[in-house]
Chains A and B, each alone.
Chain A
Amino acid sequence: AQSVTQLDSQVPVFEEAPVELRCNYSSSVSVYLFWYVQYPNQGLQLLLKYLSGSTLVKGINGFEAEFNKSQTSFHLRKPSVHISDTAEYFCATQGNTGKLIFGQGTTLQVKP
């Protein structure tokens, strides 16, 4: 069965510091991977996705992620975070029926 595991429930970081949010996946079939962001009291917004091709994926708001098949990982990175990046981040994979299977979420808390 497909699944994703987010290894950190909370990540505190100071403004302008780099950040990495970790995600491991488990799948025996073709892998589609996504990172979504949820700002407080809002819906989910797609940050980036990996479907195939280049393993380094660039998304919105300066985020990027690298698909690593040997380590079954899809970690999200940003070289310099802003206060406005404070949010909940979800890694997800997609089943063949189209449903998204989400990780447990990581709370990114950016401190001034």
Chain B
Amino acid sequence: DTAVSQTPKYLVTQMGNDKSIKCEQNLGHDTMYWYKQDSKKFLKIMFSYNNKELIINETVPNRFSPKSPDKAHLNLHINSLELGDSAVYFCASSQSPGQTNNEQFFGPGTRLTVL
């Protein structure tokens, strides 16, 4: 199926640990995003990559490091996890930002719980 996929779907971990979330899209898109949805369901952009280059970094702590090995993958690594990192993380992809039809397709989300 053509889609945006994320692994894992659920992630429960202890404070201080390091964890990664993976995202893959097979839509042939050039741009990928990470969004964070907090406990109040508010969605906010974290990062965006276009053809493996970082184009958006929205004042996210340095503990968060995105990595894009190729334009079909955008992984999110989080060091020294804190309680406040508990949230649902969504990956999305789209064509290049400059194109008019720039619909973003979202993955199913990864629910991160930090204990």
Say yes or no: is A55 at the interface (Cβ < 8 Å to chain B): no
Q: In the complex, are the beta carbons of A98 and B31 less than 8 A apart?
A: yes
Q: In the complex, are the beta carbons of A90 and B55 less than 8 A apart?
A: no
Chain A residues with CB below 8 A from B104, complex form: 46, 98, 100
Chain B residues with CB below 8 A from A100, complex form: 33, 35, 43, 45, 92, 104
| Docked pose: A67 CA to B52 CA in angstroms | 35
Q: Which of B11-19, B62-70, B74-82, B93-101 contacts A (4 or more CB under 8 A)?
A: B93-101
| Docked pose: A24 CA to B107 CA in angstroms | 27
Q: How large is the interface on A (under 10, 10 to 19, 20 to 34, 35 or more residues)?
A: 20 to 34
Q: Using a Cβ cutoff of 8 Å, how many contacts connect chains A and B?
A: 64
Q: Which of B35, B48, B107, B108 contacts A98 (CB 8 A)?
A: B48
Question: Which A-chain residue is minimally distant from B109 (CB atoms)?
Answer: A43
Q: In the complex, are the beta carbons of A49 and B103 less than 8 A apart?
A: yes
Question: Which B-chain residue is minimally distant from A52 (CB atoms)?
Answer: B100
| Docked pose: A100 CA to B34 CA in angstroms | 11
Chain B residues with CB below 8 A from A84, complex form: none
Q: In the complex, are the beta carbons of A43 and B42 less than 8 A apart?
A: no
Please, could you name 12 A-B residue pairs with CB atoms under 8 Å apart, sorted by A?
A: A36-B106, A42-B109, A43-B90, A44-B43, A49-B103, A97-B48, A97-B97, A98-B55, A99-B45, A99-B58, A100-B45, A104-B40
